[in-house]
Each structure stands twice: as structure tokens, then as C-alpha cells.
Amino acid sequence: MHDLNNLLLNIYEKFKNINDGHLATYIPELAKANSADFGISIVTLEGKTYGAGNCKKNFTLQSVSKPFTYALALEDHGREFIRSKIGVEPTGDAFNSLIELEEQSHRPYNPMINSGAIAASSFIKGKDAIERLQRILDLFGSFAGHPLQVDHQVFLSEKKTAHRNRAIAHLLKHFGVIDADIEESLDLYFQQCSILSNTEDLAMMAATLAGGGIQPITKKQVISRDYIRDLLSLMFTCGMYDSSGEWAYSVGLPAKSGVSGGLLVVVPGKMGIGVYSPLLDSHGHSIRGVKAIEELTHSLNLNVFSAHA
């Protein structure tokens, strides 16, 4: 496996000079990212780490947080209740669409888009906002293997400008999907999106999912094994928003991307992969990140279906 570092370095070198795409500017703090940053990490189920590029550079999780908060909502309320509130259907609409709430089912299509993720955040148990955030930080930290923190500048930047997410939360309340206080639920959602991580953290979190919920270093079972398949199926079908079908076809692995440029990929039973590069395509995915994952997964033949092809 020591060749993995060479492979990652080659991939890094191959794509580092691609400067297509744009930074996320709708959250003003994210527009300050350094577009040259690019890192890629792998963590195996045994906890071995490989990497190339800026693997220690911190960025905020943004939507990469969504599967993990959904996991906590499942732990808090069970599958039946959560399924009654948030669907499991992919959507062809953008990540921040509110069309399905208004026109169709009146509930979020799935927990990987903003409407479903805001609903999931509203279901997190705790006696007050501080305890709810702490429970999210504790869970995310147990996936990463060390404590994680919120970037308050990014949190405040999103909070001030999130008119569309605020509209989504009001619709969720209007249609009886959420019960909790709207502003508190939104704050928790913005805070989870503003948790700082680097590509090694993403790879470690992904490796924990790849290993049935057992953190590769601490060996702790951080989430019920029973919920892993819920998370991985949803990441497979919905994790890449309105290009999830394209991703399932070209890469064939559960994944979740975020608008800061992070991308987390799970290779079930084998490894976790994390990539970061902030220049985005029109769907909101890291351009270098997607190219790097395509190259890596093709080189190692990692598509979940390739073993049977």
C-alpha cells in the first residue's frame, strides 16, 4: 500500500493546475478561500493515512456535515419517525431548492439537500441550543478521532445571508415537518456546516463509515451499525445533489460534497477518502476534487459494482 502515496502525488500533480470553476460567494466568508489549495487523503480501515497536497489545510464541512447530523437524528428518534419526516428520493433540483416543499410532497426529498438537512438539525435532542451543538460536535469529533470546532466567522457569514435557507425553514414549519424553533434550528444547521476539518479528517470520517461505524484509530463504535446502510445508500443516490446519477455511473461510491470544496468518499469495507479544493462546478462540487476521485477510483478499481462486473 505504500504506493498509495505515489499514486496520490501523481493525481495531485496532474490536476493541481486546473483553474476552472468558481469559489462559493453566496456565503461571503467562503469567497476568501485560496483557490490554489488542493489536498487529498486516504485512511484505511486499519487507520493508515496516505496523502498529497494541502492535507492539513482547514476548511468548513458545509454539506459534508449532512450525513452525520442525519445519523444523530436517526439515533435520537429511530428510522420510522425520521422516514415519516424526510424522504429518501433523489432530486433533479439544486441543493437549495424549495420547489418540492411548495409544489409536491410538502416534505424534503432527502436529507442530503438543504431542506432535509435543516429538518434533520431541528430533530437533534438536547435541553438547549448549547447542548444540541455540543452533541453534534461530540459525534463529529468521534468520527474524526479528535475534537472539532466551529469557525464562527463562517457561521455568522452564512447566518447573515441565508435568505433562501430561512425560506426553506419557514416552509418546513408551515407544512408541519419541523416543530422546533426556526432560528435555533437554522443556527444549528449553519454551525454544523461551519465545523472545521481537513482532508485527513474527512478521510477518517469516511473510513469510519466504511468500517461499519468503527473509528479506525479509537476502535470505538461511534454510530449504530444498523444505520450505516441508511447513510451509505443515501450518499450513493443523493450525496452529489443533481449530479448524483452521473456520479453513481462514473465513480460508483457513496459520497458527499460541500460548497467549501470538500468531498468525502466511502469505499465500503476498504477505506475513506477526503479531498479539498475550493473551485466549484455548477452543481457546487469541487472540480479538482471530482477529477481526482475519478482518477483514483478508476486506478484502484473501487466502484462498488466492479467486483461483480
Contact residues: ligand GLU, CB under 6 A: 62-63, 95-96, 114, 158, 165, 193, 258-259, 284
In the complex with ligand GLU, which residue's Cβ is closer, 110 or 303?
A: 110
E strands in 135-285: 196-197, 255-257, 262-267, 271-276
Backbone torsions φ then ψ of 186, nearest 5 degrees? -65, -45
- When the beta carbons of 127 and 163 are compared against ligand GLU, the nearer one is 163
Please, what is the minimum distance in Å from the beta carbon of residue 157 to ligand GLU? 10
42: cell is: 486516504
Tell me the catalytic residues.
Answer: 63, 66, 189, 241, 259
Least Cβ distance, residue 66 to ligand GLU (angstroms): 8
Pairing of strands 271-276, 59-60: unpaired
39 to 146, 278, 281, 296, 304: CA distances (angstroms):
20, 10, 17, 13, 24
Strands annotated E in the chain? 39-44, 49-53, 59-60, 196-197, 255-257, 262-267, 271-276
Q: Which residue is associated with the grid cell 451543538?
A: 133
Q: Which residues of 113-142 are buried (b: 16+ CB within 10 A; e: fewer)?
A: bbbbbbbbbbbbeeeeeeebbebbbebbbb
In the complex, least distance from residue 275 CB atom to ligand GLU, rounded to whole angstroms:
14
Using the minimum distance from each CB to ligand GLU, give the nearer residue, 72 or 117: 117
Instruction: Output 4 or 266, the one with its CB closest to ligand GLU.
Output: 266
- CB of residue 65 vs ligand GLU: minimum separation in angstroms? 8
Closest contact distance (angstroms) between CB of 142 and ligand GLU is: 22
Q: Which is nearer to ligand GLU, 29 or 200 (CB)?
A: 29
